[in-house]
Amino acid sequence: MRGTAVCLLAIAIVFAIGCGGSSNGVGRGGSQSPVTPTLTLSPGTSTISTVQALKVTVSVSASSGPPTGSVTLSGGTYTSSASALNGGSTSITIPAGSLAPGPVTLKGTYTPDAASSATYNTASGTAAVTVSLATPTVSVTPSSLSIVVGQSVQVAVSVSGGTGAPAATGTVVLSGGGYTSAATISLQAASAFWYPRIPLPPEA
Q: What is the pLDDT of residue 123?
A: 97
- What is the average pLDDT across 64-77? 95
Residues facing 163 on adjacent strands: none
* Domain extent listing, the chain: 38-132, 137-199
Q: What is the pLDDT of residue 183?
A: 63
Whether residue 12 has pLDDT greater than 50: no
Please indicate whether residue 27 or residue 98 has the higher confidence score (pLDDT): 98
pTM to 2 decimal places: 0.67
Q: How many angstroms separate the Cα of 42 from the Cα of each of 99, 112, 127?
A: 17, 20, 7
Q: What is the pLDDT of residue 201?
A: 59
- What is the average pLDDT across 167-171? 79
8 three-class SS: helix
Q: What is the pLDDT of residue 29?
A: 45
Q: What is the pLDDT of residue 84?
A: 98
Least confident of 19-33, 49-63, 90-104, 157-171: 19-33
Q: What is the pLDDT of residue 140?
A: 86
Separation CA 111–CA 122 (nearest Å): 5
Residues 6+ apart with CB under 8 A from 94: 53, 54, 55, 56, 73, 75, 78, 80
Burial 135-166 (b: 16+ CB within 10 A, else e): ebeeeeeeeeeeeeeeeebebebbbbbeeebe
- What pLDDT digit, counting tens, does each position of 111-125 carry? 999 999 999 999 999
Q: What is the pLDDT of residue 202?
A: 56
Whether residue 31 has pLDDT greater than 90: no
Contact assessment for residue 200 and residue 147, using Cβ atoms and an 8 Å cutoff: yes
CATH of 38-132 given 1.10.3720.10, 2.60.40.1930, 2.60.40.1080, 3.40.50.10470 = 2.60.40.1930
